[in-house]
Structure 1
Amino acid sequence: MREMKDSGVEWLGEVPAEWALRQAGQLAVQTKVPNEGMIETNLLSLSYGKVKRRDINATDGLLPASFETYNVIGPNDIVLRFTDLQNDQKSLRVGRATERGIITSAYVTVRPLNPSYSRFMYYALHAYDLRKGFYGMGAGVRQGLKWQEAKYIKLPWPGDAERDRIADFLDEKCDEIDRAVSAAERSIEEYKAYKNSIVNQIITKGLNSNVPMKDSGVEWLGEVPAEWALRQAGQLAVQTKVPNEGMIETNLLSLSYGKVKRRDINATDGLLPASFETYNVIGPNDIVLRFTDLQNDQKSLRVGRATERGIITSAYVTVRPLNPSYSRFMYYALHAYDLRKGFYGMGAGVRQGLKWQEAKYIKLPWPGDAERDRIADFLDEKCDEIDRAVSAKQAIIADLKAYKQSLIYEAVTGKREV
């Protein structure tokens, strides 16, 4: 058992007795090399705590007026995102470059005085970030931080050989954990694709593959069972607008990943309205449609179904089926339309918004009452089964990430000897 000492630094606690402490500014200097004349075109970004390549010709995301304002960085440089510390306390804010490239000058880039310092220093700053050390250090409206303040952060500093040994250990272990996380994430995507294919297949073709089919005359549907009808969405539901005046309802709901879920009305994170009295009161079986920003966001699921009374932002369109028994099948039909990207291209205005007045003409498949219920029952059961499998994978990912964070902290503070 190695001898430990109190570091005198709150986030570190005890460290090995023979270890030193160094301020970050004693180990690295800030580097600013503007990309004037476009001397470099290898675009890099800081994403999930890793410095990764991006396509400089891509048109998605925020784009600068010119990449000449970006900084040229090199292998072993450490990138720090010190912006918006007040509002975003989830992002990983430290990355390490492994190649030459350019990165936004909104980030702080520092260059270790010796390249051999780079890996351990990155892990130490990453551990500090995981302990939420940067939060509360910032200044200004959006709580920004400069290297002039951050350079005084105290880091543990073993001898050369031990630093390399710890960095080698963490490189190997983190890579192993990252591979396991990636495998679980791929599995989740496969489950989601399987779920989407089932919803689309059953909503458009039914449960019995042996029935006669007919051309629906609707592009997104293709062939449907011969005895099925078609209905416009507006023949099945009406828009409902019930303002929450006088705060008659406090059960806050939101549309997230295609599900209408409860939110804490007293939470302070995320965008908050001036008043929840502007929200709409909705009830069980209502269908919620997010028709905003169709131009820029083509990934979000835009249809959800309420299972309880509550309030939801009036930026969403809420419709109430003419008969509660229509609700589940209509939700799945609109969800299938959404999965086929049907809403995109329908919108108008700068941000491509859509109104119920246009959406109500969408044609949906419409079996008889009994068959609609059978299909909804089947999809409820199947989707719930897949959602449980996805949740199990997500729990594994959360455990792996927590283990990785614990491993990094214990190794760079010497609490785990490697």
Structure 2
Amino acid sequence: MAMKESGIEWVGSIPDTWDVIPNKYIMHKEKNLCEKWTGEDVMSLTMNGVIVRDLQNPTGKMPATFDGYQYIEDGDLLMCLFDIDVTPRCIGKVTHNGVTSPAYSNFKTHDNASRDYYYYYYLMVDNTKELLHLAKNLRHSFTEEQLGSLKVPMPPLTEQQVIADYLNEKCSKIDDIIAEANASVEEYKELKQAVIDNATMTGIHDSEMKYTDYVWFPEMPKSWNLVLASLLFREDVRPIDANDVSLSLSQVDGLIPTDDMSERSLKSATHDNWKHVIPDDLVLNRFKGHLGVFFASKYTGMVSFHYGVYHAIRDDVYAKYYEYLFHSTTYKNIFALKSNGITVGLQNLSNGNFYSVKILHPTLDEQIEIVKYLDKRTAEIDSLIAEKESLIKDLESYKKSLIYEVVTGKRRVV
């Protein structure tokens, strides 16, 4: 197979039977505005393609009216040519008639071009954001004129369609496997949550139960007690040490050492207001207590004053058990209810409201036993999740590579 240089930076070589022409000769923009919306399906460009929005259960921004939206038709190519740096997906093929935001650019391909071939071509370009360095303004936008002047590969029309059909089939199969793997990940996450819920709320043995007067759970093991958090934990602000490392708290990684710069937005010019942390302190992100961002520290260091730092005031408290307990569905719901108002979209769990929560308190031996069990079970589930996520990552990488090789003719499918 003889190849030649395309002259297109992100394409490289192409078959010598292909041409290279400006994009304006294979598609044109068309904007047909809807003066009065009469119930047409409202479409949106997403990572999953151009989809019909669920107007009964809307997510994201919702305009007051869809009057002034533009009509789009099955067979069109929809592009987002602004905010290229932050828009997850800038290209989608329209497979359903409807209306969409006039901010999008809608294109119709000419008779010499396969819509699906150029969808895959621009998907390849979007995967690596090749147009970003050409978008010079503050909004990182790209005009239709700029797009029209871009050079693109031009295989013979029959070959374009063969390539498109091949990629439709192959990518559909890859997407199905990815969807199954994503579903498995969600199932494993639900299983992990259920394991934590069951172990922290009822123990790991078939225990005799007793009734409680707490609305959140009507019963608990007979050997357990309900204790106010204020009788188990206290936040005493300890002075930080000159050698303290900066620690950061996240929902995914827990409490870990971090570069000071990553915390710059959370702190004052000095560390005067920061809090000293020692191993087994429970550290809370006050704005995300309802998400379970409440971890037992493994480190000595310091955290931003935005965090809560609690240490046990009784000897029969095993911090790791309470980390798991506060990750349970029940306690995340309790913390959501106990949090005050909304600050930048986040709820704030104050010391006073935390102290007023009634806490499940097994015997120390039971706390330790539950933690050993949960450490083992959650590690097993996390391993299964990691395997699926690795498979998804590999498949997504393979799909991108496949699209690149086929749309540029480096892998012939004709």
Q: Is the shorter-chain TM-score for this pair beyond 0.5, marking a shared fold?
A: yes
Provide the residue aligned with 2:19 in structure 1: 20
In 2, the alpha carbon distance for the partners of 1:317 and 1:57 equals 39
Distance 1:74 1:259, change over 3 A: farther
Structure-1 residue corresponding to 2:366 = 371
1:70–1:105 contact (8 Å) kept in structure 2: yes
Change in CA separation of 1:263 and 1:75 when aligned onto 2, cut-off 3 Å: farther
In structure 1, the partner of 2:121 is 124
CA contact (8 A) 2:340 2:350 kept: no
Is contact 1:7-1:15 (8 Å) kept?
yes
Which residue of structure 1 lines up, in the alignment, with residue 6 of structure 2? 7
* CA-based RMSD: 3.0
Aligned to 1:347: 339
What TM-score results when the alignment is normalised by the length of structure 2?
Answer: 0.87
Q: Which moved more, 1:256-265 or 1:324-333?
A: 256-265
Task: Output the CA distance in 1 between the equivalents of 2:268 and 2:248.
Answer: 15
Residue 161 of structure 1 aligns with which residue?
Answer: 158
Match of 2:211 among 205, 211, 215: 215
Q: 1:151 is paired with a residue of what secondary structure? A: helix
Residue-by-residue CA offset, 1:359-416 (whole Å, 9 max, x unaligned)? 2222221011111111111111111111111011100110000000000000000000
Alignment partner, residue 69 of structure 2? 70
Q: Which moved more, 1:165-174 or 1:257-266?
A: 257-266
Matched, 1:134 2:131: yes
Label 1:293 to 1:196 Cα distance change in 2 as closer, same or farther (>3 A): closer
User: What one-letter code is carried by the residue in structure 1 that aligns with 2:142?
Assistant: L
Residues 148-181 of structure 1: per-residue CA shift (max 9 Å, x gap): 3233332211111110000001000100001111
1:41 aligns with 2:40: yes
The one-letter amino acid of 1:347's match is S
2: distance between equivalents of 1:305 and 1:72? Answer: 54
Distance 1:52 1:332 in 2: 39
276-285 or 3-12, which moves further after superposition?
Answer: 276-285
3-state SS in 1 of match to 2:99: strand
Task: Specify the alignment match of 2:298 in structure 1.
Answer: 307
Q: Distance in 2 between matches of 1:381 and 1:108?
A: 52
Mapped partners of 1:304, 1:21: distance in 2:
57
Give the corresponding residue for 1:225: 221
Q: Does 1:319 align with 2:315?
A: no
The residue type paired with residue 227 of structure 1 is S
Rounded to whole Å, the distance in 1 between the matches of 2:191 and 2:3 is 53
Q: 1:135–1:375: structure 2 CA closer, same or farther, 3 Å change rule?
A: same
Aligned equivalents of 2:169, 2:159: Cα separation in 1: 15
Q: What are the within-5 Å matches in structure 2 for residues 280-291 of structure 1?
A: 280-281=274-275, 282-291=277-286
Contact 1:288–1:306 (CA under 8 A) maintained in structure 2? yes
The match for 2:386 is 391
1:312: Cα distance to partner?
A: 5.0
CA offset at residue 293 of structure 1?
7.8
Contact 1:230 / 1:366 at 8 angstroms: preserved in 2?
yes
Q: Distance in 2 between matches of 1:115 and 1:338?
A: 60
Alpha-carbon distance in 2 for matches of 1:255, 1:196: 18
Contact 2:274 2:303 in 1 (8 A): yes
**Alpha-carbon spacing, 1:238–1:109, altered in 2? closer, same or farther (3 Å):** farther
Identity of aligned residues (%): 26
Paired residues of 2:278 and 2:298 also in contact (CA < 8 A): yes
> 1:110 maps to what in 2?
107
1:81 maps to 2:80: yes
Q: Using a 3 Å threshold, how does the CA distance of structure 1 residues 403 and 200 change in structure 2: closer, same or farther?
A: same
What amino acid maps onto 1:326 in structure 2? Y
Q: Deviations over 1:81-135 (max 9, x none)?
A: 333334x38x232211111122233333222234952101110001111232022
Quick one: structure 1 residues 338 and 271, their matched pair in 2 at CA, closer, same or farther if it must change by over 3 Å?
Answer: farther
Distance 1:97 1:287, change over 3 A: farther
**Distance change >3 Å, CA 170–CA 65, structure 1 → 2:** same
Q: What count of residue pairs does the alignment treat as equivalent? A: 407
Any stretches of 5+ residues in structure 2 without a counterpart?
none
Kindly tell me: are residues 305 and 155 of structure 1, through their superposed partners in 2, closer, same or farther at Cα, counting changes over 3 Å?
farther
Residue identity matched to 1:342: I
Task: Give the Å deviation of 1:227.
Answer: 1.4
Residue 40 of structure 1 deviates from its aligned partner by 4.3
Counterpart of 2:402?
A: 407
Measure, in 2, the Cα distance between the counterparts of 1:289 and 1:106: 41
1:47-104 superposed Cα distances (whole Å, 9 cap, x missing partner): 2151122212324322223222433222122222333334x38x23221111112223
Within 5 A, what are the aligned runs for 1:182-193?
A: 182-193=179-190
Please give the per-residue CA displacement for 1:242-266, whole angstroms capped at 9, x wherever unaligned: 79899x6554524133733555556
CA distance in 2, matches of 1:139, 1:245: 47
- Distance in structure 2 (CA, Å) of the matches to 1:47 and 1:222: 44
- The one-character-per-residue Cα deviations of 1:308-351 (angstroms, maximum 9, x if unpaired) are 34555544444334469531011111111467633334333344
* Alpha-carbon separation, structure 1, partners of 2:398 and 2:211: 54
For 1:13, give the aligned amino acid: G
1:332 to 1:11, Cα distance in 2 relative to 1, 3 A: same
Q: Which runs of 5+ in 1 are unaligned?
A: none
Identify if the C-alpha distance between structure 1 residues 74 and 161 changes in structure 2 by more than 3 Å, giving closer, same or farther. same
2:158 match: secondary structure: helix
